[in-house]
Amino acid sequence: MSGLGTIANAVAIICGALAGIVLRRGLPEKWQQTIMQGVALCIVVIGLQMAFKTANIVIVVVSLVIGSIIGEYFDIEGNLQKFGSWIASKVYHGKDGSFAAQLARGFISSTLIFCIGAMAVVGALQDGLKQDPTILYAKATLDGIISVILTANLGIGVAFSAVSVFIYQGCLTLLAAFLQTVMTEAVLNEITACGGVLITAIGINMLKILEIRISNQLPAIFIACLLAYIFI
């Protein structure tokens, strides 16, 4: 049955997030800060490893420029903040704006980390074409562990990324027959590289070096896919 890998992945993220909440409450604030810095450094390294997969850095640069223009025009960051505030008002009554911002930050950061990369795409395609969820089961294990750490540092917003993973990988699985011809290795490498730059930005934000509006750069991933398909 197709889709079992995606279901397992979403459940693993939720379970990991719940464990992360327990861990967060049991750690002193000083420990949380040090652990967050260590996680942020690892995220920067992961992002850089992904970014180096590009075969044409021009595609990544142009994608980020065009994607940023689109994102700023539609104010994706602001709209996601409003969405976070709406969720907070429904689920966590009485929480202030800073909680909503943290909720949105955890959701966006974890969604990028869990959805960008070869395992998500290749695993979903294999699940759809061959009914073989092996890759997604392995990804579910990794994502579950990562969600524990992310939730301990970024909060419960990480749990909501399970919805993103379910929709994203589920759509890839359903459309596997069509996407197999589009998602060539070259295209996948450019998508991964562009996503890697954004994941690196997540680590930079967590380290508080800069405040990068990552959400407004999200369209760059789709632009990278389009440009890579046309020019490679």
> Measured between alpha carbons, how far is 111 from 53 in angstroms, rounded to an integer?
20
Place of tokens 């690196």: 200
pLDDT at 28 over 70: yes
C-alpha–C-alpha distance, residues 209 and 176, integer Å? 40
Dihedral pair phi/psi, residue 74, rounded to 5°: -90, -5
In this prediction, what percent of the chain has a pLDDT beyond 90?
40
Distance (Å, whole) CA 142 – CA 217? 26
Q: What is the DSSP letter of 156?
A: G
**What confidence category does residue 38 fall into, taking pLDDT thresholds of 50, 70 and 90?**
confident
Residues in the chain: 232
Q: The pTM is what? A: 0.80
The answer to which of 25-29, 58-62, 163-167, 195-199 has the lowest mean pLDDT is 25-29
Task: Break the chain into its structural domains and give their ranges.
Answer: 4-231
Residue 94: predicted pLDDT? 54
Confidence band of 43 (pLDDT split at 50, 70, 90): confident
* Whether pLDDT at 113 is above 70: yes
Please state, in angstroms and rounded to a whole number, the distance separating the CA atoms of residues 137 and 119.
10
Q: Which amino acid is at 155?
A: G
